[in-house]
Amino acid sequence: MDSAALLNLLGNENRRRILRLLSRKPCYVTEISEYLGVSPKAVIEHLQKLEDAGLVESRTDDQRRKYFHIARNVRLEVNLSPYGFASKSAYPASNGLDMSKCRYLTLDVGTEDEESIDELLGTLEQLERLENELSLAQRWVQGRLCEVLDQISESVGTGSESRIYADLLASIRSEPKGIGTISQDLDAPREVVADLLEAMADRGLVQRTERGWELTESRAEV
């Protein structure tokens, strides 16, 4: 699901409370209504939105009572810094994902099927500890990203526009791009991007070639 749509969906407190309840156990409408203290009609409307988004599913028991439950795991990440705002949603990777291909991450958690409760609890403890460490690592990376962008900004720009200079350089650091693509990356008007590129070209930071705008050769080799 699109992260922006997911943010809008979860902006409602009652829908968040419904999901919190369903994460504990499947429930039918009357249970949810009593838990939230709102009318069954309002609960049904919330559940319909959650079902349409693929977050909730339902099943009917032998007494023809419909139970609702969480449909799948979803992770929503929001990054907010002086350099931008971004959000993304992610779903669990397949069991066949090869974690050894991750350059900066080493995992030492068993992946074999455990048979005993003790082994399962041990693996659960390891995974919870890993989740906490990854959260700390993400916070550290976000902080370092801002520090590096600050340094780039101070080196190539001045005043309130210095941050957009850093974003522009980051946009073309890997490959040449046209003004249209760069303006999409920066979410800025083409005219603004064109003026910035010309100003940076005058300072010898970027150059325009047949392939598009790119870093000057001396910058690209750094």
Name the residue ranges covered by the structural domains of the chain. Answer: 3-70, 157-220
Distant-in-sequence, close-in-space partners of 17: CB < 8 Å, separation ≥ 6: 35, 36
Question: Does this chain's domain 3-70 share its CATH topology with 157-220?
Answer: yes
pLDDT above 70 covers a percentage of the chain that reads 86
Indicate the DSSP class of residue 79.
Answer: E
How much is the average pLDDT of 33-56? 94
Fold of 157-220: Arc Repressor Mutant, subunit A (1.10.10)
Query: In this structure, what token pair is assigned to residue 191?
Result: 């005219």
Predicted confidence (pLDDT) per residue in 135-149, tens digit: 888 888 888 887 887
Q: Give the model's pLDDT for residue 219.
A: 54
Query: In this structure, what token pair is assigned to residue 190?
Result: 């083409």
Query: In this structure, what token pair is assigned to residue 101?
Result: 């291909």
Q: Which of 39-53, 60-74, 188-202 has the highest mean pLDDT?
A: 39-53
Q: Give the model's pLDDT for residue 178.
A: 94
Let me know: does 169 contact 205? Beta carbons within 8 Å. yes
Place 12 in a pLDDT band, splitting at 50, 70 and 90.
Answer: very high
Tallying the residues shown for the chain, one arrives at: 222
- Rounded alpha-carbon distances, angstroms, from residue 43 to 16, 31, 192: 12, 10, 47
**Residue 111 clears pLDDT 60, i.e. is over it:** no
Predicted confidence (pLDDT) per residue in 151-208, tens digit: 877 777 555 556 788 888 889 988 999 999 999 988 888 998 999 899 889 888 899 9
Let me know: does 206 contact 216? Beta carbons within 8 Å. yes
Question: Which architecture, in CATH terms, is 3-70?
Answer: Orthogonal Bundle (1.10)
Q: Give the model's pLDDT for residue 116.
A: 84
Let me know: does 23 contact 94? Beta carbons within 8 Å. no
Distant-in-sequence, close-in-space partners of 147: CB < 8 Å, separation ≥ 6: none
Where is average pLDDT lowest: 42-56, 101-115, 194-208?
Answer: 101-115
Q: Give the model's pLDDT for residue 222.
A: 45
Q: Give the model's pLDDT for residue 152.
A: 77
Q: Give the model's pLDDT for residue 48.
A: 95
Largest CA distance in the chain: 76
Helix (H, G, I), strand (E, B) or coil at 214: strand
